[in-house]
Amino acid sequence: MRIHLDNVEILRRKIGIRKELIDINIRNSLMGLWSYQRWLYKNRLLKNYYELIYTLLGGGTVTCVDTSGVNRSFNAKTYKMVYNLCQIHVGTDTEDLPFNGHTLTNYGASLASSVEALAQENYSETVVGGTAPKNGSIVGICGRLNDTGNDQRYILLNDVLLSVASGDPLSVHLKFYSPWVYNLAVIWRGWLENSNPTGTKDIAGVDYQLRCSGGVTVAGSFNIALGDGAGAWSPTDYTLTNARTLTTSRTKWESASGMEILLRAWYIPAEDESIPELGLIGKLYDVSGSQYDTLLARIALETSPLSLTANHLYVIRMKILAT
């Protein structure tokens, strides 16, 4: 059985007596565009970007490569991750960086002038504005973070071949399409701006001010959850109806050309069920240190709910594919 949704494919197959595998593949939902002189240019999100996504989801200590080419460990659960406002980097490369690229050749850097999170009609986004620090042929956004030794590191997140002139305005739009929701855009705003942004909602609809600057952001791993809501996906979704969170493991595979982040949970329904929505729910901190259960992604099955049989074992695997 195969279900096709926007950016999501669901495959089901028997793996034994009363056992079934449900594979949920998420593709092309995390994207980015640079805006320069009224033109838009699609960028490449680099391995460092997805390493931070993995940390956010609860992957524990992960290894980024800073602009000096040194591996640095990051763990969003146990230390203050962000230390300053992000930078725009401009270099002289004439070819795109590989997926695991970490720096631009002969780069110059300038501080971003603005960072905001926006919810649009069919996506949300984090928008970073600034000016080119030099003439160049390639641009990227560089986060400024602390590693687990509390040392300050510069982490390149994306790049695009783009000829720019020193002092010209430009901006990058990190876009989050279905199944990701606006809460993710707010998190990236806080991480790139070194701020404690407003705009997050917990699964009860309570607004809270997210802690990204000066302390820990992630209070608990994001887990696969099942819900009973029948509505269509929206970027401003914040909850699942009657959410049931499943204990979830996570791992990742990576190469020079891509990464796969895998979340896996088991579920045995006590009675026959029809599941019209799934999502990712985890705990984040507000500025006072209180924890809030927060939705990060929602898959709305609408006319194709998952039909589950009582006392059968279902292995649910959610894969985020990055290339």
pLDDT digits (tens, 9 = 90+) for 196-217: 999 999 999 999 999 999 888 9
Rg (CA), the chain: 20
Sequence-separated (6 or more) residues with CB below 8 Å from residue 2: 9, 10, 11, 12
Confidence of residue 76 (pLDDT cuts 50, 70, 90): low
CA angle 40, 115, 178 (to 5 degrees): 60
Sequence-separated (6 or more) residues with CB below 8 Å from residue 230: 276, 277, 302
Distances (CA, A) of 101 to 160, 187, 254, 260: 12, 24, 13, 17
Compute CA 196 distance to the chain's CA centroid, rounded to the nearest angstrom.
Answer: 18
> Has this prediction a pTM greater than 0.85?
yes
Q: By percentage, how much of the chain surpasses pLDDT 70?
A: 99
